[in-house]
């Protein structure tokens, strides 16, 4: 048996280490209790794993999972996250933050730095502040520059981490709110990046845009522009493989519905959310008494949601062909009984797992993915036993 064990802590992104077993194709799927072929034992002297009706796994008397299938060793990794942070630094971010002695900007800066500090080295992060030009710069409303180009964070104290910290320290609130221009530019940065991983835009703003695309508008808080084009922009990004998280800071009360729709179009809306509240589809900070604590919690949630629920299947050794009917997925919560995750028989993938269309990955279904990502445990991909389906 091959186990592909993955720590699933919500505060870290995923790393995989695999020991691949020889689960090669045959005319009929092998039964774990069938006699061994003449080439040698498949499951050793014991009958192999017995899958309980309750979804747990027992191993039989004296069963050694490492001897279940004799095979070769190989490595595999799930994709890390690639994040582009799109951070509103308009003049209104200099206002006091609820529950804090500092401004919304100082709270946002510290929360983001803390979140980035906790991200593992394989995560890639880029940074775009907007507007990054003073209001007096009209008709130019956005500098159209990446404050930090997308690159791997690497270890603590790396050049990328130092550059991000310096960029935050050198920024101060000023100017209007050209959210659409900044979003489109940030998306272009993600598309142009060669970083490997699942891609996300994280938009943090404290209000309705005061410029529409192309710097059209006065830039004044008293003269906002229509935010609805950003919904279509997020939908376009999602269709091209980039999901969008949206955080509405205090001051974004008038934009809550549009920000909620933007998050939904961007593919990050939680189940049961509403565009009219109180449970919006974006991270709504407008009624939080302690903005610093709420923002920190939201960023922690985003870090967890950026965990991949897609697991690459390593290539079989020696040019063999993997039998897809001999694959099972186990979830082992920390300190609890291992649970067999059943394969979804087809159609909508809400619970269990399915193969990717090309058969190269295991994909956890929505509810299973949410449950696993919020737990401290491990995922095992096991090869050589008949797939259990619900």
pLDDT band at residue 311 using 50, 70 and 90 as cut-offs: confident
Q: In the Cβ-directed half-sphere of 184, how many Cα atoms lie within 13 Å?
A: 15
pLDDT at 166 over 70: yes
pLDDT at 76 over 80: no
Q: What is the pLDDT of residue 228?
A: 93
Residues 269-279 pLDDT 10s: 988 899 999 99
Q: What is the pLDDT of residue 329?
A: 85
Beta bridge partners of 89: none
In this structure, whether the domain defined by 81-305 belongs to CATH 3.40.50.12780 is answered with: no
Q: Which residue has the higher pLDDT, 125 or 323?
A: 125
DSSP secondary structure letters along 335-364: TS--EEEPBP-SSS--SSEEE-TTSSEEEE
Domain with CATH 3.40.50.410 in the chain: 81-305
Which of 329, 389, 385, 387 is closest to 23 using CA atoms? Answer: 385
Joined together, the tokens standing for residue 60 give: 């039989």
Average pLDDT over residues 309-338: 79
Residues 355-378 pLDDT 10s: 887 788 888 887 888 777 666 667
Q: What is the pLDDT of residue 179?
A: 97
Q: What is the pLDDT of residue 43?
A: 24
Runs of H (alpha helix) within the chain? 104-117, 159-169, 179-192, 229-239, 256-265, 291-305, 366-373
pTM above 0.85, yes or no: no
Could you tell me what percent of the chain has a pLDDT over 70?
77
- Least confident range of 36-45, 293-302, 364-373: 36-45
Q: What is the pLDDT of residue 15?
A: 24
Q: What is the pLDDT of residue 385?
A: 80
pLDDT at 70 over 50: no
Q: What is the pLDDT of residue 307?
A: 67
Q: What is the pLDDT of residue 208?
A: 92
Q: What is the pLDDT of residue 271?
A: 80
pLDDT, averaged across the chain: 79
Residues 145-164 pLDDT 10s: 999 999 999 999 999 999 99
1 and 68 Cβ atoms separated by less than 8 Å: yes
178 and 211 Cβ atoms separated by less than 8 Å: yes
pLDDT at 51 over 60: no
pLDDT at 73 over 80: no
pLDDT at 219 over 90: yes
Residues 248-270 pLDDT 10s: 999 999 999 999 999 999 999 98
CA distance 283 to 244: 12
pLDDT at 17 over 80: no
pLDDT band at residue 317 using 50, 70 and 90 as cut-offs: low
Residues 23-40 pLDDT 10s: 433 444 444 333 333 333
CA distance 16 to 232: 36
């Amino acid at each position: 048996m091959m186990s592909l064990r993955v720590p699933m802590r919500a505060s870290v992104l995923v790393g995989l280490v695999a020991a691949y077993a020889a689960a090669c194709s045959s005319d009929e799927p092998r039964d774990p209790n069938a006699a061994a072929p003449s080439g040698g034992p498949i499951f050793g002297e014991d009958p192999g794993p017995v899958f309980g009706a309750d979804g747990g796994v027992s191993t039989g008397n004296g069963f050694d999972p490492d001897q279940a299938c004799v095979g070769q060793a190989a490595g595999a990794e799930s994709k890390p996250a690639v994040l582009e942070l799109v951070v509103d630094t308009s003049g209104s971010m200099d206002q006091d933050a609820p529950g804090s002695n500092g401004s919304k900007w100082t709270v946002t800066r510290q929360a983001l730095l803390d979140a980035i500090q906790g991200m593992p080295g394989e995560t890639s992060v880029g940074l775009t502040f907007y507007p990054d030009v003073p209001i007096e710069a009209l008709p130019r409303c956005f500098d159209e520059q990446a404050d930090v180009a997308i690159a791997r964070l690497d270890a603590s104290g790396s050049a990328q981490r130092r550059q991000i910290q310096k960029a935050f320290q050198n920024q101060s609130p000023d100017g209007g709110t050209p959210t659409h221009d900044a979003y489109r530019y940030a998306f272009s940065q993600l598309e142009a990046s060669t970083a490997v991983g699942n891609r996300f835009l994280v938009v943090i703003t404290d209000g309705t845009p005061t410029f529409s695309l192309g710097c059209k508008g006065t830039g004044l808080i008293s003269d906002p522009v229509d935010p609805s084009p950003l919904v279509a922009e997020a939908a376009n990004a999602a269709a091209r493989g980039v999901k969008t998280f949206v955080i509405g800071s205090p001051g974004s009360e008038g934009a809550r519905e549009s920000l909620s729709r933007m998050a939904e179009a961007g593919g990050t809306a939680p189940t049961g959310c509403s565009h009219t509240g109180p449970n919006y589809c974006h991270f709504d900070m407008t009624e939080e008494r302690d903005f610093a604590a709420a923002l920190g919690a939201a960023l922690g949630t985003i870090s967890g949601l950026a965990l991949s629920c897609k697991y690459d299947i390593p290539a079989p050794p020696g040019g063999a062909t993997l039998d897809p009917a001999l694959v099972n997925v186990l979830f082992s919560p920390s300190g609890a009984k291992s649970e067999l995750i059943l394969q979804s028989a087809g159609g909508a993938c809400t619970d269990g797992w399915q193969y990717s269309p090309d058969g190269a990955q295991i994909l956890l279904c929505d509810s299973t993915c949410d449950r696993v990502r919020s737990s401290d445990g491990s995922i095992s991909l096991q090869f050589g036993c008949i797939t259990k389906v619900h």
